[in-house]
C-alpha cells in the first residue's frame, strides 16, 4: 500500500493562500481600528463635556481656564485627556485636545470648546466638541 502525504509544493501553496488572505484583510483591520479609536476619542470628549458642565454649574456658569482643572474633582480618570489614536500618553496638564478658554454656559451652543489636535487621527479629520455637548467628526 502507498501512503498519501502532503508534498512540499502543496504545503507552500496552502501557506501562500493564507498569507494572501491575510494581506488582503490587513487594510480592513487597520481601518476598523482607526474607526474604533475615533469613536473612543468622541467618547472621551463627551466625558470632558460632562466634566466641563459640572464645573460650570459649581463656578457661576464659567468653564475652567484649563482642562487639567477638571481632574480629579470632575473627571476621575486621567486617561480621558488622552486621545486613543496617539501611541504615547501625555499628562493631564497637557491633554491631546485643544481647549478654547473663556467660554461660558451662555456661549453659543455651536461654539467649539474642545477639539482634536491636527495629528491625533493622522490628518484624516478631527472630533469637535461644542458648548452644547455635541461631538462631531469634521474632515
18-77 per-position pLDDT tens digit: 999 999 999 999 999 999 999 999 999 999 999 999 999 999 999 999 999 999 999 999
Q: What does the DSSP 8-state code read for residue 87?
A: S
Asked if residue 1 has pLDDT above 70, the reply is no
Residue 85 neighbours by CB distance under 10 Å: 20
Cβ-contact 51, 78 below 8 angstroms: no
Q: What does the DSSP 8-state code read for residue 94?
A: S
| DSSP string computed for 48-65 | HHHHHHHHHHHTTTB--S
Q: What's residue 95's pLDDT?
A: 87
Residue 81 neighbours by CB distance under 10 Å: 24
Q: State the Rg of the chain over Cα.
A: 23
Residue given cell 489614536 in the structure block: 85
Q: Full-prediction pTM beyond 0.85?
A: no
Torsions phi, psi for 116 (to 5 deg): -65, 150
Q: What's residue 91's pLDDT?
A: 66
Q: Which secondary structure element, helix H or strand E, spans residue 107, and what is its range?
A: none
Stretch 95-124: mean pLDDT, rounded?
92
Amino acid at each position: 500500500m502507498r501512503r498519501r502525504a502532503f508534498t512540499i509544493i502543496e504545503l507552500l501553496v496552502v501557506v501562500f493562500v493564507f498569507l494572501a488572505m491575510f494581506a488582503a484583510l490587513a487594510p480592513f483591520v487597520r481601518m476598523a481600528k482607526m474607526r474604533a479609536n475615533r469613536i473612543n476619542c468622541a467618547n472621551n470628549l463627551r466625558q470632558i463635556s460632562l466634566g466641563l458642565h459640572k464645573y460650570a454649574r459649581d463656578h457661576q456658569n464659567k468653564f475652567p481656564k484649563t482642562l487639567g482643572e477638571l481632574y480629579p474633582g470632575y473627571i476621575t480618570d486621567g486617561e480621558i485627556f488622552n486621545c486613543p489614536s496617539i501611541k504615547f500618553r501625555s499628562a493631564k496638564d497637557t491633554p491631546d485636545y485643544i481647549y478654547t478658554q473663556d467660554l461660558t454656559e451662555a456661549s453659543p451652543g455651536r461654539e467649539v470648546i474642545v477639539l482634536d489636535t491636527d495629528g491625533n487621527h493622522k490628518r484624516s479629520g478631527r472630533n469637535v466638541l461644542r458648548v452644547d455637548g455635541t461631538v462631531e467628526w469634521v474632515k
